[in-house]
């Protein structure tokens, strides 16, 4: 039997919470030059906190396609209106609010050359395509460009996604991402900045979105066979994660190794597939009852993601905090801002859009 189209996967919030927090800690380490932070052991994962973005991409592939197919199968003629009402109300209001505040708080922003192009590029969600605008306003915003472009892709291809087997969609995603990354490496080998900018764009990140799409399709079409016992998915996640991270640490220079640039994110995507499958197959009571505080962090994770650089500007650059003290201030201020914006700004607008 296909999975219920209205099924809610609360455990996904646990992954969102981890993804958001690992990005926050990573940026505190980088902006605060926290050299004493452990480089060995489990905490070393925070030194490569950019993997939080990869986790968000896989989650989006699953959640967005699962929701989109729900809407499309319920009412194909009304799909576009319902889909865009949900997507815009979820991503755009807080994006515009934080964008405006960042510009307002940056001295002399409009006196700089190209200031208005910065605004236009960000409003059109194409700022992630250009070196001059990539990460220029509230640095993490470049990923919102990728997300919005993925939303557009899903809206355009929803009929094809609905009728195409999940394995074939995943295969296309992997092949396209490999081809894109290979072309970018051929063009920009040796230029780390351009390699990062180009390979992390939507064509290069399709394998990570693709594993989420694959899982959504398999669940909706009733073709996902859960291993027994269900603890098998977490065990598979541990095994595939260990393999992927071992490969990474053996080639930590990353951009110097063409094989790693081309293929490593696909290996990491296999781990993300197992992680997502574990989240949806294990009892959802884990999130909404047993780990309620972490579930809340996952619920407000979008706000955590967009507000944390504001907190870093205050705690590290203005107040001069460093190390664990800086981290405590950044986490506290970020969670407070995210919780308030979720309750009084984001959630009311989402409810309005769903009407």
CB-based contacts of 225, cutoff 8 Å, min separation 6: none
- Asked if residue 355 has pLDDT above 80, the reply is no
Average pLDDT, the chain: 93
CB 28 within 8 A of CB 305: no
**pTM, two decimal places:** 0.94
CA angle centred on 72, ends 70 and 74, rounded to 5°: 70
Least confident of 146-150, 248-252, 295-299: 248-252
Q: What is the dihedral of CA 225, 230, 234, 237, to 10 degrees?
A: -20
244 versus 226: the higher-pLDDT residue is 244
- Asked if residue 262 has pLDDT above 60, the reply is yes
For residues 220-226, average pLDDT: 69
For residues 339-353, average pLDDT: 92
Local structure of 216: helix, strand or coil:
helix
Percent of the chain past pLDDT 70, that is, above it, reads: 96
pLDDT for res 15:
97
Per-residue pLDDT of 1-50, as tens digits, reads: 344 444 679 999 999 999 999 999 999 999 999 999 998 888 999 999 99
pLDDT for res 227:
54
331 versus 109: the higher-pLDDT residue is 331
For residues 150-169, average pLDDT: 96
pLDDT for res 4:
43
- Asked if residue 311 has pLDDT above 60, the reply is yes
Per-residue pLDDT of 95-126, as tens digits, reads: 999 999 999 999 889 888 889 999 999 999 99
112 versus 180: the higher-pLDDT residue is 180
- Asked if residue 257 has pLDDT above 70, the reply is yes
């Amino acid at each position: 039997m296909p999975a219920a189209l209205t099924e809610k996967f609360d455990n996904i919030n646990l992954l969102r919470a981890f993804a958001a927090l690992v990005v926050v800690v990573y940026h505190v380490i980088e902006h605060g030059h926290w050299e004493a932070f452990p480089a060995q052991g489990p905490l070393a994962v925070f030194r490569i906190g950019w993997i939080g973005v990869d986790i968000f991409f896989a989650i989006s592939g699953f959640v967005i396609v699962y929701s989109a197919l729900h809407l499309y199968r319920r009412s194909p003629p009304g799909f576009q209106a319902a889909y865009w009402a949900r997507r815009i109300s979820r991503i755009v209001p807080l994006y515009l609010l934080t964008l405006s505040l960042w510009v307002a708080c940056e001295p002399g922003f409009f006196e700089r050359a190209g200031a208005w192009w910065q605004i236009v590029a960000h409003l059109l969600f194409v700022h992630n395509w250009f070196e001059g605008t990539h990460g220029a306003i509230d640095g993490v915003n470049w990923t919102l460009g990728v997300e919005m472009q993925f939303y557009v892709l899903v809206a355009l291809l929803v009929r094809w996604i609905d009728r195409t087997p999940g394995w074939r969609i995943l295969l296309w995603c992997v092949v396209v991402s490999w081809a894109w990354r290979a072309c970018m490496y051929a063009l920009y080998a040796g230029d780390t900045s351009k390699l990062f900018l180009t390979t992390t764009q939507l064509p290069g990140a399709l394998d990570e979105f693709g594993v989420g799409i694959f899982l959504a399709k398999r669940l909706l079409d009733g073709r996902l066979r859960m291993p027994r016992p269900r603890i098998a998915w977490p065990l598979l996640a541990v095994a595939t994660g260990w393999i992927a991270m071992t490969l990474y640490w053996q080639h930590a220079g990353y951009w110097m190794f063409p094989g790693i640039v081309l293929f490593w994110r696909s290996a990491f995507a296999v781990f993300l597939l197992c992680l997502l499958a574990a989240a949806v197959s294990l009892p959802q009571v884990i999130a909404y009852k047993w780990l309620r505080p972490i579930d809340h962090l996952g619920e407000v994770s979008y706000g955590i993601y967009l507000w944390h650089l504001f907190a870093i500007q205050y705690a590290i650059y203005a107040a001069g905090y460093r190390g664990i003290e800086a981290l405590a201030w950044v986490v506290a201020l970020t969670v407070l801002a995210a919780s308030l914006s979720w309750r009084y700004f984001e959630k009311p607008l989402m409810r309005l859009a769903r009407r």
